[in-house]
Amino acid sequence: MLQKQTENRKRMKTMKMKWMAVAVLMAGIISCNDKRDVERVEYSFEFTSDAEGWTGDFADYPVGEAESYELEFEHTTLPAPLDETEGALRLSGLNKSDDLFMFIKRKISGLEPNTTYYATFYVEFASNVPDGLFGVGGSPGESVFVKAGATLTEPDTEEDNMNYYRMNIDKGGQSQGGAEMVVVGDFSNDTDSDDYTLKTVSNENRFSVTSDANGELWLIAGTDSGFEATTTIFYNKLLIELY
């Protein structure tokens, strides 16, 4: 047991070092390669004591079925064997429709008005799903796609003519991104263990978005699931670079 705790502490320390290294590397690339006259802005969230303005919601499920889909959102701490003193945003849902979208969103301000920015998203989350598992409808890891994006419109749900909640923005469908969200990874934890493990994902290609007249945007991150059972994700850190 002691050996396992030591290994987990080492793993968490390594993940933190990787997180910092990626951020420093991207900052260097941006400063060297980007000649646009746009001030670089960084937004970082660690959910240490609260949700830091982020709220959670769900889409792609029937109206009136929130209870049967077991939809949950809360600010909590990381699960064992991870560091349970670290805060996290927990989303959980039972996908009964082959297409459940669980997301968090937040408005940001302080940008240049009516200005086009490139965005890089870093999403760190805890997953207990090892690589290569099979499940109903798809893999509980590789068939649950992690997405991130930014938009002028507040991401929200609306009822369609089939009596389902759908997103009012273009998030794409499952493995495909959309105009306002990109796929940054999947929910597998990159190990062969079902212990909760931290994983960091980011977009490989540039994502562009234009701020509104007040210098504001909405940020969004979520999971688009093809796995027909329960997915529970803990968002530990979010880092968004606009440049």
Closest CA to 233 of 78, 85, 81, 107: 78
User: Which residues have C-beta within 8 Å of that of residue 98, sequence separation ≥ 6?
Assistant: 137, 226, 228
Q: Tell me: pLDDT of 121 over 50.
A: yes
pLDDT by residue (tens digit) across 140-168? Answer: 999 999 999 999 999 999 999 999 999 99
Q: Taking the CB of residue 153, how many other CB atoms lie within 10 A of it?
A: 12
Q: Tell me: pLDDT of 114 over 60.
A: yes
* Contact between 21 and 75 (Cβ < 8 Å): no
pLDDT of residue 97: 78
Q: Tell me: pLDDT of 29 over 60.
A: no
* Contact between 217 and 108 (Cβ < 8 Å): yes
pLDDT of residue 192: 97
Going along the chain from its start, the domains and CATH numbers come out as 2-242 (2.60.120.200)
pLDDT of residue 35: 57
Average pLDDT of the segment spanning 177-201: 98
pLDDT of residue 2: 36
- Give the end-to-end CA distance of the chain in Å, rounded to a whole number: 45
In whole angstroms, give the CA distance from residue 121 to residue 43. 10
In whole angstroms, give the CA distance from residue 54 to residue 33. 32
Mean pLDDT for all residues in the chain: 90
pTM of the model: 0.86
